[in-house]
């Protein structure tokens, strides 16, 4: 059985900001990491592999990005993936969600045509769109289950516990299918030295548009319906009143009551 986990390398999102004077992104000192939601998806794949040895599960990670995104894929090999592919080509530059999902679909269809399950993170922490998973599923013509918490296998079907607004649902679908994962352990597992050494022997292949004959007119900027016209810093909020209640909590409580009375909340 083959599980493809689509992953993205992202900047540590909350450290990225805009220089208010020049209006450009400040990226100094911002590290690139494996998107946490993608790591949760990989964790689910590794868990399934351990839980269902009879299925002989092979985990293949796939990403589209610049050459340095290899680092994120190496991480996936250290954390339990068996093989990794990076789609990397200037021709992908400027891809929005639609063009990115097309490229990933082509990568899956041509590199792992006999896939059974696709796992993705719910969203990437840089763009936060959560749109690429559903678009990949649509391009491949397979069912999708988003906001997944836990996945289990039952013959040729999967059962997914998924988050809903009120609680949760258990949804099943026949394979092949795509599941996006929305939650995972907050404590990140560090690979052991042995896992790091093993990862070096695992295959990681960089693939170009030409290598797998992707239709060039469907990737990159020209195939991207959306265009960013402007980026800017969010407007700052006017400063409020700050009081120090460390020495006198009673005085602080009194101030709080006065504030709530003044604003008619009590």
Partner 1 sequence: MLVVNEELCIGCKACEKACPFDAIYVDQETKKAVVKDNCTLCGACVNVCPTKALSIERKAVSEEELAKYKGVLVWGEWEKRDNNLQLKGVVLELLGKARQLADKLQENVGVILVGYKISHLVDELFHHGADIVYLCEHELLETYTTDGYATVISSVLATEKPSIVLYGATPNGRDLAPRVAARLALGITADCTGLDIDEKRQLVQTRPAFGGNIMASIISPYTRPQMATVRPNVFPKPEPDIARNGKVITVPVSLTKQAIRTKIIEDVALEESTENIEEAQILVSAGRGIGAKENLKLVHQLAKEIGGTVSGSRALVDLGWLPQPKQVGQSGKTVAPNLYMALGISGAIQHIVGMSSSDTVVAINKDPEAPIFKVADLGIIGDLNEIIPAFLELLKEYKKGKNEN
Q: Which helix (H) or strand (E) holds 73?
A: helix 70-78
- Residue 144: strand pairing partners: 178
Residue 82 or 163 having the CB closest to partner 1 = 163
d(CA 22, CA 15): 17
d(CA 181, CA 4): 13
Kindly tell me which residue out of 172, 189, 200, 215 binds partner 1, with binding defined by CB under 8 A. 172
Residue 239 in contact with partner 1, rule: CB under 8 A:
yes
Residue keyed to tokens 């896992």: 195
Which residues within the stretch 208-227 sit at the binding site for partner 1 (CB under 8 A)?
220-222, 224-227
Residue 37 or 199 having the CB closest to partner 1 = 37
Which residues within the stretch 108-167 sit at the binding site for partner 1 (CB under 8 A)?
122, 125-135, 137-139, 143-147, 159, 163-167
Kindly tell me which residue out of 98, 108, 151, 214 binds partner 1, with binding defined by CB under 8 A. 98
The answer to whether residues 151 and 178 touch, using CB atoms and an 8 Å cutoff, is no
Residue keyed to tokens 């293949």: 60
Kindly tell me which residue out of 168, 200, 203, 210 binds partner 1, with binding defined by CB under 8 A. 168
Residue 113 or 236 having the CB closest to partner 1 = 236
Which residues within the stretch 58-77 sit at the binding site for partner 1 (CB under 8 A)?
66-68
| x/- letters, 9..48, toward partner 1 (CB under 8 A) | --x-xx-xxx---x-xx-x---------------------
d(CA 133, CA 59): 18
Count CB neighbours of 180 within 10 A.
Answer: 27
């Amino acid at each position: 059985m083959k599980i493809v986990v689509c992953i993205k390398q992202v900047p540590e999102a909350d450290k990225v900001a805009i220089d208010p004077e020049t209006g450009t992104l400040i990226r100094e000192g911002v590290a690139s990491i494996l998107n946490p939601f993608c790591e949760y998806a990989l964790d689910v794949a590794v868990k399934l592999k351990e839980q269902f040895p009879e299925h002989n599960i092979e985990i293949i990670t796939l990403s589209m990005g610049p050459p340095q995104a290899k680092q994120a894929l190496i991480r996936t090999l250290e954390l339990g993936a068996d093989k990794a592919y990076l789609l990397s080509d200037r021709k992908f530059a400027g891809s929005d969600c639609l063009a990115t999902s097309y490229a990933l679909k082509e990568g899956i269809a041509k590199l792992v045509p006999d896939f059974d399950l696709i796992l993705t993170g719910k969203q990437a922490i840089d763009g936060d769109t959560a749109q690429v998973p559903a678009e990949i599923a649509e391009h491949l013509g397979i069912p999708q289950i988003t906001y997944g918490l836990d996945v289990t296998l039952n013959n040729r079907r999967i059962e997914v516990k998924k988050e809903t607004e009120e609680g949760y649902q258990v949804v099943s679908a026949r394979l092949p299918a795509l599941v996006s994962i929305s939650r995972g352990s907050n404590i990140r597992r560090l690979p052991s030295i042995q896992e790091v050494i093993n990862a070096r022997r695992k295959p990681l292949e960089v693939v170009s548009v030409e290598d797998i004959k992707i239709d060039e007119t469907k990737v990159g900027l020209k195939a991207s319906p959306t265009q960013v016209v402007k980026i800017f810093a969010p407007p700052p909020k006017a400063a409020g009143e700050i009081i120090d209640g460390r020495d006198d909590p009673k005085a602080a409580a009194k101030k709080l009551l006065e504030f709530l009375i003044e604003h008619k909340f009590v």
